[in-house]
Amino acid sequence: MFICDSLVSPMQKNKVAIVGYGNMGAAIANRIKSDYSVFVFDQDRKKTKNAKGLTVKTTLKEAVTETNIILLAVKPQDLAKLLKELTTFIHDHLIISIAAGVQAADIESALGTDVIRVVRAMPNMPIGIGCGICCLYAGRNIKTADIAEAKDLFETAGAQVLLIDDEDRMDVITALSGSGPGYYCYLRTQKDFDLASIHAQYVETATKYGFSKKEAEFLWQGTGPSTEILLEKTGQSPEDICRAVTSKGGTTEEAIKVLQRKGSLKEAIKAAIGRARELAKDTHEKVKRSQS
Ligand SMILES: NC(=O)c1ccc[n+]([C@@H]2O[C@H](COP(=O)([O-])OP(=O)(O)OC[C@H]3O[C@@H](n4cnc5c(N)ncnc54)[C@H](OP(=O)(O)O)[C@@H]3O)[C@@H](O)[C@H]2O)c1
């Protein structure tokens, strides 16, 4: 399932537009800004007010026109509206979406062209300190050079990258490693926090969803141990990190709700997968409505 390719590396760094400068958009932008020309746009101007070393744009059009890559870092619920707006400005961009749940085919269809190149990515918060992981799924028009470009971008951002060839797995990965740092931090605040037991439950759940033991351990390393490094390096509390990665109505929130009711980690992961799938359905319907 995982393809490890480290052979292809683009010769020249590209211009990247990051749309949505929230928790994840800002983390990625600030990790790649010395290697890429980064243009950022957020509808909430307060978010980009203190951005340094990046080109802040005040409209979507200005942010994307001169770039080769557009990284979509808005919440899944906001994606359909953004894609509709984007149709006017895209040319031969490589589109990378980090939105939980949203299918590559819906992004292709919303952008209204048969040739659009879309990569779905699922990074996680430890990317901000260079020890995250990111899973990539290539949409149907993606060429080898595109996936190499996306891989290079996330490696530059500090992630170990895994390519996956089954899109259904992206929802499971979202629940395991994308949301993982959030609910790991929640568990870390509980009196009965037991690292060995959480590790065992995580790996057992990942293997139940079809990952090999090796893959499950890889995902765990990018979740538990990487979140510990994030806590240590940033000096933030587990509560701070939990707040930062838990968006309202998102997959992490769904997992935490289960844990707050004293549900098991396995049930929490299942709930996060369910939420990723609901978000996918919601975006699919929004895209269809916007086309009719
Ligand atoms: N946080 C994580 O750990 C994590 C991990 C993996 C993947 N992701 C994915 O990353 C994406 C972003 O998550 P996040 O936690 O960074 O969310 P966030 O902090 O809410 O950031 C999203 C930003 O995008 C802005 N925005 C919304 N619509 C826009 C538009 N049309 N044009 C420009 N900006 C727009 C939002 O503005 P408003 O505040 O005004 O809405 C907000 O500032 C989500 O799709 C999530 O599934 C997140």
Q: Which conformational region is residue 26 in: left (phi greater than 0), alpha (psi within -120 to 50 degrees), or beta? A: alpha
**Domain boundaries defined on the chain:** 2-7+15-167, 172-281
Q: Indicate the pTM of the whole model.
A: 0.93
pLDDT tens per residue across span 171-225 = 999 999 999 999 999 999 999 999 999 999 999 999 999 999 999 999 999 999 9
- Report pLDDT for 6: 37
Residues within 6 Å of ligand 1 by CB: 19-20, 22-25, 41-44, 47, 73-76, 78, 81-82, 98-100, 122-125, 178, 245, 247
d(CA 15, CA 18): 10
Ranges of residues in the chain with a pLDDT under 50 are: 1-10
d(CA 58, CA 69): 18
Alpha carbon dihedral 47, 48, 49, 53, in 10-degree steps, equals 140
Contact 136, 154 (CB under 8 A): yes
CATH class of the domain defined by 172-281: mainly alpha
CATH topology identical between 2-7+15-167 and 172-281: no
d(CA 154, CA 152): 6
**DSSP 3-state assignment of 71?**
strand
**DSSP 3-state assignment of 277?**
helix
Residue 228 sits at φ, ψ, to 5 deg, of: -60, -40
CATH for 2-7+15-167 (1.25.40.10, 3.40.50.280, 3.40.50.720, 3.40.50.300):
3.40.50.720
Ligand 1, atom 24, lies closest to the CA of: 20
